[in-house]
Amino acid sequence: MCTRHVSRNLAAYIDGGLPPVNARQTEFHLEQCGSCRGECDQVRRGMAMVEHLSVIEAPEAIWFSIEAALQDNQQREIRMAGWWRWALAATVVLALAGGALWRLAQPAGARWEVVRLDGSPSVAAKPIGGKGQVGAGEWIETDARSRAVVKVGEIGSVEVAPNTFVGVVAARPGEHRLALVRGEIRAKITAPPRLFFVNTASGTAVDLGCEYTLHTSEDGFGTLQVTKGWVAFEWKGLESLVPAGASCQTRPKLGPGIPYFDDAPESVRRALEAFSLGNNRSEALSTILSESRVRDTLTLWHLLSRVEGGDRGRVFDRIAALTPVPAGVSREQVLELDPETLKRWKEELAWTW
């Protein structure tokens, strides 16, 4: 004889979420009731079907927008706090309060000037005429025929090439940060190192006082080409240092590639590409080692930390054959990737870069 139907509890029964007594009652009922048994099969089938749904990676853009919003909120709080301070001060010294008011009235989050160069670039989805302004949390977009230049505070400028989508993450004296989603920017920065940053899907370009071009495709594949000074490209503890005249490829989830000079032999560049993609790495490494010039110790130095065991020894030997190993740098320390030793060696090698 059938007891009360158990349709409501079937999912919990299947998931083992029912208390033991209820589970036994449900089981007993299912043995007796064909209707509920049929429903139970349907619920099971529905659960199996849901397994075809995939977990989808959240776009990197969401984090950029959260960061921008957080900074916006922070700046608003600072302004509010400032007003309270001014109000208190005004009760004591009215004359000083006037000055404080003037200072605090300045926006904590600066807005940067955007100048149209060609076509009709837009800021925050609105086309700009001759000039516009952009602030944290806003985006600049150019179509195939548009170009614009952004004056980055007091530290330089960024030209936004056609078909580019770039946002401002932070616009304050200690941090000038863009997010390049796709397209190309050319940055000219005259500021102390580590004041200007560009986030991309495959890492962050950190200005070390330089001019460079950064291109990225929608899927995060990109190229960093430095024309003046130095740029560090960083991703999850991995860093590539790229001097003037050199480039490095970037890839999503792999971070910065190994930098190479633009005038490096074609064979070295092709082998480096194959090595980075994991295609016949041993043969590619042999080509890189045998074809490298003194200047290509830039590439070889970066390779040291990206190869293992015997290969690291081969890279060390090749650098040592190309240029004398300075005092204070030993083979053992290099093979152990001692940070101080690698830094010292890099500083010596950099004279040839």
Instruction: Name the residues that contact other proteins, by CB under 8 A.
Output: 7-12, 15, 17-18, 39, 42-66, 68-70, 72, 124-125, 137-139, 141, 165, 167, 181-182, 201, 218-220, 252
Q: What are φ and ψ of residue 242, in 5° steps? A: -120, 115
To other proteins, the closest distance from the beta carbon of 139 in angstroms equals: 5
Task: Work out how close the CB of 69 gets to other proteins at its nearest, in angstroms, rounded to a whole number.
Answer: 4
Q: Which is nearer to other proteins, 41 or 263 (CB)?
A: 41
Write down the least CB distance from residue 94 to other proteins, Å: 35
Question: Cα separations (Å) of 252 from 16, 202, 214?
Answer: 41, 4, 15
C-beta neighbour count of 278 within 10 angstroms? 9
DSSP letter for each residue of 218-271: TTS-EEEEEEEEEEEEEETTEEEEEETTEEEEEETTTEE---EETTS-HHHHHH
**Shortest Å distance, C-beta 87 to other proteins:** 25
Distances (CA, A) of 36 to 32, 46, 98, 153: 9, 15, 78, 69
C-beta of 57 vs 308, nearer to other proteins: 57
CA 343 to chain centre: 24
CB closer to other proteins out of 163 and 305: 163
Give 6 or 248: the residue with its C-beta nearer to other proteins: 6
Q: Please, what sign has the CA dihedral across residues 303, 309, 311, 316?
A: positive
Min dist CB 18 to other proteins, Å, is: 8
Separation of alpha carbons 104 and 101, rounded Å: 5
Measured from the CB atom, the residue of 222 and 259 that comes closer to other proteins is: 222
Closest CA to 11 of 49, 44, 50: 44
Nearer to other proteins, 17 or 326 (CB): 17
Taking the C-alpha atoms of 207, 208, 214 and 220 in order, what is their torsion angle to the nearest 10 degrees? -70
In 3D space, the residue among 252, 251, 314 whose CA is nearest the CA of residue 281 turns out to be: 314
DSSP 42-59: HHHHHHHHHTT----PPP
Q: Where are the alpha helices (DSSP H) in the chain?
A: 10-15, 20-32, 34-50, 60-92, 94-105, 266-277, 281-291, 297-304, 309-322, 331-335, 339-349
At closest approach, how far in Å is the CB of 153 from other proteins?
A: 19
The answer to whether 164 and 182 have CB atoms below 8 angstroms apart is yes
Q: How far is the CB of 48 from other proteins (least distance, A)?
A: 7
Closer residue to other proteins (CB): 45 or 106: 45
For other proteins, give the closer residue by CB, 218 or 283.
218
Assess contact for 42 and 14: CB atoms under 8 A.
no
C-beta of residue 223 within 8 angstroms of C-beta of residue 248: yes
User: Whole-number minimum distance, CB 125 to other proteins, in Å?
Assistant: 5
Nearest distance, CB of residue 59 and other proteins, angstroms: 4
Task: Compare residues 59 and 339 and give the one whose CB is closer to other proteins.
Answer: 59
